[in-house]
Each structure stands twice: as structure tokens, then as C-alpha cells.
Structure 1
């Protein structure tokens, strides 16, 4: 059985990380037997981040590398049915959400002074109060430095919000009435995009980017549709 290591619930989400959620969605879609192991310390991962899986004694970290492993294991069930051009389109959308929109989501949680109290509660509440404050402060400082090095952290909040709106508008335009990202059938790239969108739309309480995401009802409909089709949701559901 595959063991998937993922973060515990936080912010109204049973799966707070889009990278963890997309792997869970892929495993559910493939019908593979797996179990979830909750891990609050990403430092215990081989690469210092989540998710990672253990499959028949082999440990694989990073969602994209896990997808490659699952594709081989399933005989091409994730990538083998893609038509010419679909792989390129899908990877472009994935890079948009992973390398740009994701960091805007992170900043809306970690770097908003008014919202950071929820991060401390969600990620550091298990620590004693004094230690929680120290660890949270150090983690936040590191996050801020990373955001600046990325480049997005050099922009004003208003400019960051503009980036977010353009990213989300591009995704909504890409759907253009389609039921799925690349057409009328589910592909692995739906998992990558929906895992990020669900974290924006259903994040509680709302961050500034969650509020912006509500301006795109087509993306909410798409996100709900894919989660229902796979039977795997980011948010806490009854």
C-alpha cells in the first residue's frame, strides 16, 4: 500500500497544501490503494517539503516526481492518453499555478499582518506559547526573504493583487466553457490547477487572494466539478 505524507488540516481545509492534494487526487483517480499519514513537520521529508510517498520501500518526494512514478506504475494512466499539444498546454498551466499563483497564496497567508495569527494557530499551536512565537517569527522571516528572492515580494500589495487577477482571468479564459482544463475529459493537469484553486476559494477565514478568487465564478464551478468527479475535496466536508 502507498503511504502519502501530507499536512494536517488547517484554515478550513482538510488538505492545506495544493501539492499534497493533487497527489491524493491522482491516487484516488487511479484507484490505487493508499493511506494518508499526517505530518506537521516538512523537515522530516527527504527534501524538506511535503508531500512525499513511500511505495514498496521506495520514498519519492515532490508532487511532480510522484506523478511520474504513478504514471510508470499505472502503465501511463496519467500522461499516456494525452494528445499532441496537450502536454505542453497542461505543463504551462501547471507552471502558472505552481510558480506564480501559489506564491501569491502563500503571501496572503504568511505576510498579511492581520491574517498571520491564523498561520500561528494552524501550524504552530502544538508548541508552547513562547516557543510558538519564536518559531513562527523565524519561519515568517524566512518566508518573506523567499518571497523577495522570487521577485513577487518586491511589488506593492496592489501590484500583487493585479498579478493574482491576471493569473485567475487567464485560467478562466483557458476554460472557455470547457468542462475540463484541456477539453471534455479529465487529465492529470486538472489535479494541479484545481488543487491550487480549491485552496484559494475555500480558505477560511478568507485571505485577500481568496476574496479576489470569488470574482471568478467560472473557476469555482470548475473546481467544484473536478473535486466531485474525483471524490476528493480540499475543504472539510461532512
Structure 2
């Protein structure tokens, strides 16, 4: 049995971190049974980062490494039809999402306009959290943003970067479809992980406003959300 360890849910999304939600969505799309365990403390995780999985006693961290492990071990065909060009595009989008992560995270923890709403949602949905714990987490994130670089910019400059990422995604995703055609591939799980963590949040950031203005992004996100949030069925395909 596979156990996924990732951050808790928020605003009806199964994981409030894009990487954990990516793995969750992938597991649901390919129909692998798994147990989902939620954590706030990542100190015991591989490299101190969530998500990670434990699969038959083997611990694997990093979302891309997890997906590669699952595809190899279980013979999954979700990306089997992709050629070299499609795989290269998927890698580029994955790196773009790595960039978007920092802007999305900044909008929650750093931007004083949106931090109170994010904090209130966390406290409401997860009463075990404390003011002291959230303050420490926020200070830790401030350090991360500074050393990564995004924390050294004014908010408008930060959002300019994130909006450029979203504009590329909006141009790549076809109306009513997925990145590589009519069926989702693993990169669509990755895109969903981040877009859902913006679109479904009751926090009106510039990122959320942009997504709302692009029907294809909304359709992609809501279609995958409906699919992955359904209870697993016996006829799920690998």
C-alpha cells in the first residue's frame, strides 16, 4: 500500500501545497489506491520537504521523483503516448510551476493584504494551529523568500513574475482540453496542483484574478478537480 504524506487541505482542496496536490491528483488519475496522511511538520520528511510517499516500506521524496517511481514500478501508461517534444514541453512547464510556487507562497505568507485571510482560514480549518506556530512558520518563509530572491522585490514586481507564468499556461492549455490532448497526462496533475491552490482559495490575489479571466484555465482546473476529488472506483485506469 502507498501512503502519501503531505500538507493538510484548505478551501476544499486536498492539499494546500501545489506539490502535494500534484502527487494526490496523479495517484487519483492513474487509479492507484493510497492512504493520505496530512502533516504540518516536515522535519522528518526526506530533505525536510513535503510531500513524500512510503511505498512497501520504501520512502521517496520530491514530487517528480515520486511520479517517476510510481510510473516505473507500476507500469503506468499515463505518459506512454508522449513523444520527445511533448516530454520536453512537460519538463519546461514543470520548471515554470517551480517559479510560480514562490509567487503563490509569497501571496499567502508575505503580502500583508492577503496574509490575514490566509491565516484566518488556516486557524478555522485546523484548530490545532497556534498563533506562535504560524508566526514561526511565517518568519521561516520570509527567510526562504529572501534567499530565493522573490522576497527582495516589491509586491507588484513579484506578481508580474507570477502573472507571466500564468499567461504562458493560459496560452498552452487548449479550450476544453489538456496540455497534450483530450486526456490528462502527468503534467496536467502538476498544473492542477498549483492552479487549484489559487482558483479555489477565497483570497483575491492578482493570481486568482488572472485565472478567473481565462476560461480555459478555469475549465482545466475544475475538470480535474471534479475527477480527482471523486472517490476512487474499481474501473480506474492505470
2:208 to 207, 210, 215: 210
Deviation at 1:76, TM superposition (A): 4.4
For structure 1, which segment, 49-58 or 72-81, has the greater mean C-alpha deviation from structure 2 after superposition? 72-81
Structure-1 residue corresponding to 2:58: 58
Structure-2 residue corresponding to 1:113: 112
CA contact (8 A) 1:11 1:118 kept: no
Distance 2:109 2:206 in 1: 12
| SS of residue in 2 equivalent to 1:5 | strand
Structure-1 residue corresponding to 2:220: 222
Structure-1 residue corresponding to 2:74: 74
Structure-2 residue corresponding to 1:103: 102
Distance 2:137 2:8 in 1: 18
CA distance 1:188–1:115, change in 2 (3 Å): same
- Determine if the alignment matches structure 1 residue 231 to structure 2 residue 228: yes
Structure-2 residue corresponding to 1:126: 128
Deviation at 1:125, TM superposition (A): 4.7
Alignment deviations for residues 90-142 of structure 1 (CA, whole Å, 9 cap, x no partner): 110111012x11110000000022432344441785255xxx33x33332222
What TM-score results when the alignment is normalised by the length of structure 2?
0.85
CA contact (8 A) 2:176 2:216 kept: no
What TM-score results when the alignment is normalised by the length of structure 1?
0.85
- Determine if the alignment matches structure 1 residue 181 to structure 2 residue 179: yes
CA distance 1:23–1:208, change in 2 (3 Å): same
Distance 2:21 2:107 in 1: 19
For structure 1, which segment, 14-23 or 118-127, has the greater mean C-alpha deviation from structure 2 after superposition? 118-127
| SS of residue in 1 equivalent to 2:64 | helix
Deviation at 1:82, TM superposition (A): 1.6
Distance 2:140 2:25 in 1: 30
| SS of residue in 1 equivalent to 2:43 | helix
Structure-2 residue corresponding to 1:20: 20
Deviation at 1:58, TM superposition (A): 0.6
CA contact (8 A) 1:20 1:51 kept: yes
| SS of residue in 2 equivalent to 1:107 | helix
Alignment deviations for residues 175-201 of structure 1 (CA, whole Å, 9 cap, x no partner): 243611122332111001111111111
- Determine if the alignment matches structure 1 residue 88 to structure 2 residue 85: no
For structure 1, which segment, 219-228 or 196-205, has the greater mean C-alpha deviation from structure 2 after superposition? 219-228
CA contact (8 A) 1:2 1:53 kept: yes
Structure-2 residue corresponding to 1:151: 149
Instruction: Give 5+ residue unaligned stretches, structure 2.
Output: 231-238
CA distance 1:55–1:3, change in 2 (3 Å): same
Structure-2 residue corresponding to 1:32: 32
